[in-house]
């Protein structure tokens, strides 16, 4: 999770919502990413999507069986869907997302029995640090708003 937090710090420094993600398999980093939505003018450029894409590229195929993704905040519906489609074994996230969380808070896409794959989910890992970074970012953003 510390690596995901480092990615989130990079996003923060670039003026992006500070979310970071890292995909690991057998102690090997397969992919990492941070939000790049504003930089790329791409609403799909979430940290999880970038990390999953990098991991799939690293392995040379789209299925990330046996891999774990670490994310600083609970994934949204798009990212939860990508996690399921990539067949990640496990998701570990820091802060819950009461507005768009799709891994147990608003929805539970990662464990929906109607889908062909389910993901083991662990939440609350370094939750305070993850939450504080997000709070700091939005506090700073609001202070700049006239």
Q: What is the pLDDT along the chain (146 residues), one digit of tens a residue?
A: 999 999 999 999 999 999 999 999 999 999 999 999 999 999 999 999 999 999 999 999 999 999 999 999 999 999 999 999 999 999 999 999 999 999 999 999 999 999 999 999 999 999 999 999 999 999 888 887 66
User: Annotated catalytic, 48?
Assistant: yes
How far lies 136's CA from each of 34, 58, 91, in Å? 17, 33, 25
Active-site pick, 9, 48, 57, 129 = 48
Which residue in 11, 22, 14, 17 sits closest to 126, CA to CA?
Answer: 22
- Overall pTM > 0.75: yes
């Amino acid at each position: 999770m510390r690596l995901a937090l480092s990615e989130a710090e990079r996003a923060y420094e670039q003026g992006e919502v500070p979310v970071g993600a890292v995909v690991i398999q057998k102690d090997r980093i397969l992919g990492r990413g941070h939000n790049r939505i504003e930089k790329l003018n791409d609403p799909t450029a979430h940290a999880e999507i970038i990390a999953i894409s990098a991991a799939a590229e690293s392995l040379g195929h789209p299925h990330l069986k046996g891999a774990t993704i670490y994310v600083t905040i609970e994934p949204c519906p798009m990212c939860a869907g990508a996690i399921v489609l990539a067949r990640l074994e496990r998701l570990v996230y820091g802060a819950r997302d009461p507005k768009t969380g799709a891994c147990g808070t608003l929805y539970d896409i990662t464990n929906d029995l109607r889908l062909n794959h389910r993901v083991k989910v662990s939440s609350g890992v370094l939750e305070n640090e993850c939450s504080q970074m997000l709070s700091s970012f939005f506090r700073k953003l609001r202070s700049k708003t006239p």
